[in-house]
Structure 1
Amino acid sequence: MPETPEHTLTHRVQDRILRALIGGLLYLPYRWRVPLCGWVMARVVAPLAGYRRRIRENLRLILPDLPAAERRRLERAVPDNMGRTIIEIYSGPEFAARAAATTPRGEGMAALEAARAAGRPVILVTGHFGNYDASRAALIARGYRVGGLYMPMKNPYFNAHYETAIGRIGTPLFPRGRQGLAAMVRFLREGGMLGMVVDQRMSHGARLTFFGHAALTALSAAEMALKYDALLVPTYAIRKPNGLDFDIVVEAPIPAGTPEAMTQALNDSLEALVRRHPDQWFWVHRRWKIPAQRAAEIGAGR
């Protein structure tokens, strides 16, 4: 659907504001700009954008027994982590160097090394947790060929420089949709490793569960793993208490099965991590919203 003049103006204004904020922060030393962007997101942007309300609503649905004090803490901590993530991504080489300083650990590292030696493709799956690009940066620094599949932003003006920012962390990059499909498939068939973020609601996804509640989830990562004989490997970057560094974890590959079973295993993996670090997941997403029409289609088996 083409943009209306109103949408175009809104997107331009949003982009100008974000460019000014990000550009100003980039003049500061890294150790200052990251916490400052977190503070601005938590104290200024989140209340104005309705993020605190969204976080509160999701927490009441998913963790209804959470003490009120902890819920209020998360209403501030979640957008703080989001703000840090944004400015880290725009910090390019400085962020990549910070991520590269951490040695990835976990059962999956041996599987990645074996796949690289054999030329077997790998699909690395993460969520909007900690900083979702830190694993990619750390693995690229160690010589792994890791590409990224990303969802273009709805704001085309912001998307233009966002693509440039994530490209400075590493390439190749593949936009979701037809535009990037052929190049992405070729990359996988050549034994590349593809990073994906898969924890957002997809309107035509399968009705799986996340935190015990129905959540529409895309099966694409599992389907591609099966189609191209790729390993399906969860990986996460857990932000350390200093707010600047990460523990990068690579879990064991998900066993082959049906796309639904494999994707549910991905949901379960992320859920276990979020339960341990609830302040690091992006609770602002409408993860559990299922439109009435889509619910009826699922009930009818369509």
Structure 2
Amino acid sequence: MKKKQSSEGDRFKGPSKWCGYVFARGLASLIQWMPLSVAFRLGRGVGWLSWKLMKGRRSTVRKNLEIVNAWMEESGTVESRKVESLDEQVREVFQRSGANLLAGFPLSRLRPEQMEQHLEIEGMEHAREVLKQGKGVIMLLAHMGPWEVLAHVPKLAADHGVHAPFGAMYRPLNNTYLDNWVREQRAARNTQLFSRRDGLHVPVDFLRAGGMLGILADQKMREGCQVPYFGVKVGSTPIPGLFHRRSGAPLLALSIETIGFTKWRLTVDTVDLSTVGPKPSRDELATVCNQALEQVFVRSLCDGFWFHKRF
């Protein structure tokens, strides 16, 4: 008699997964109730220690930044950074990533009015304008800044006159208990999560109903579109372009950059689609998305998460 195949949910359950969930939730709660300034300083310290000890990651970050800096020099793009040398950039990426990661937890528990003491918001008028088309909005996201701020986007957007349901594409965690907890946290802040399990039609219907859908667009994909990114052809996600073609939703880009001690700026930028025709190909749309991401990272290169081999 054949054994029943366990469901994906069952595969990611069990005592070890439960212990991992309890540990992760306890650690997150501990950091969450730290003063923001303490978490920020601690994060920079952890980042500095990681920079000293993680030689392999240090090399990966350096190679990524070499390519990006070379592209900026060739294109005549000037990045508004204080860090000049490549070695300083590499160290700052580690320290800033640590600060962004840990500071994100206490940031997530702040009320929106408290958060705005630490967060400047620019460009929400672009979202207000494109939502008038009634096709929803695809928001290109990058791995940068304190990601937990994104959970507050629905309320922050509403405070700036942008009234639309907010959703995000995400990859389910391989721990059912932890995954359910994350989904509950996002739902409590009016963020609907979608994954590949939902297929294409569910998030597309969400867009057609006037929703704002966030998609991490800077991930390297082996089977993605091979298009230029900082001057190098790399596998790039076709998903934002695919959703645009299915729904007609316009594209915007959202970035979060560090502008001071426990201070960040969230910016919404337009994405120029004038270079493509009325029926653009997957590669054309992926190229446009990469160009938008290039401008996002050039604004604050050291806020990027450059720890994986992107090129």
Q: Could you say whether these structures have the same fold, taking a TM-score greater than 0.5 normalized by the shorter chain as the test?
A: yes
Task: Tell me the equivalent position of 2:296.
Answer: 273
Cα contact 2:67–2:230 (8 A) shared by 1 = no
Cα contact 1:78–1:279 (8 A) shared by 2 = yes
Q: Which runs of 5+ in 2 are unaligned?
A: 1-6, 74-82
Task: Tell me the equivalent position of 2:79.
Answer: none
Q: 91-100 vs 22-31, which deviates more?
A: 91-100
Aligned with 2:269 (options 251, 261, 280): 251
Q: Distance in 1 between matches of 2:306 and 2:286?
A: 20
Q: Which amino acid counterpart does residue 287 of structure 1 have in structure 2?
A: R
Considering only aligned residues, what root-mean-square deviation do their CA atoms show, in Å?
3.7
Q: Which amino acid counterpart does residue 82 of structure 1 have in structure 2?
A: S
Task: Tell me the equivalent position of 2:88.
Answer: 73
Task: Tell me the equivalent position of 1:122.
Answer: 137
Per-residue deviation, 1:208: 0.9
Q: Could you state the TM-score of these two structures normalised by the residue count of structure 1?
A: 0.75
SS in 1 for 2:214: strand
1:264 and 2:272 equivalent? Answer: no
Identity %: 20
- Aligned positions of 1:78-117 closer than 5 A: 78-91=93-106, 92-94=108-110, 96-97=112-113, 99-100=115-116, 102=119, 104-106=121-123, 109-117=124-132
Per-residue deviation, 1:29: 1.4
- Aligned positions of 1:48-197 closer than 5 A: 48=54, 50-63=56-69, 70-91=85-106, 92-94=108-110, 96-97=112-113, 99-100=115-116, 102=119, 104-106=121-123, 109-132=124-147, 134=149, 136=153, 138-142=156-160, 143-145=162-164, 146-154=166-174, 158-174=178-194, 176-179=195-198, 181-197=200-216
Q: Distance in 2 between matches of 1:168 and 1:82?
A: 26
Q: Could you state the TM-score of these two structures normalised by the residue count of structure 2?
A: 0.73
Cα deviation code 1:115-145 (max 9, x no counterpart): 3344331101121122355463532544432
Q: Distance in 2 between matches of 1:9 and 1:58?
A: 39
Instruction: Describe the shift of the 1:158–1:54 C-alpha distance in structure 2 as closer, same or farther (beyond 3 A).
Output: farther
Cα contact 1:209–1:215 (8 A) shared by 2 = yes
Q: Distance in 1 between matches of 2:54 and 2:32?
A: 23
Task: Tell me the equivalent position of 1:292.
Answer: none
Q: Which amino acid counterpart does residue 29 of structure 1 have in structure 2?
A: P
Count of residue pairs the alignment pairs up:
281
Instruction: Describe the shift of the 1:209–1:10 C-alpha distance in structure 2 as closer, same or farther (beyond 3 A).
Output: farther
Q: Which runs of 5+ in 1 are unaligned?
A: 289-302
Q: 95-104 vs 210-219, which deviates more?
A: 95-104
Task: Tell me the equivalent position of 2:3.
Answer: none
Q: Distance in 1 between matches of 2:207 and 2:310?
A: 29
Cα contact 2:139–2:212 (8 A) shared by 1 = yes
Q: Which amino acid counterpart does residue 123 of structure 1 have in structure 2?
A: I
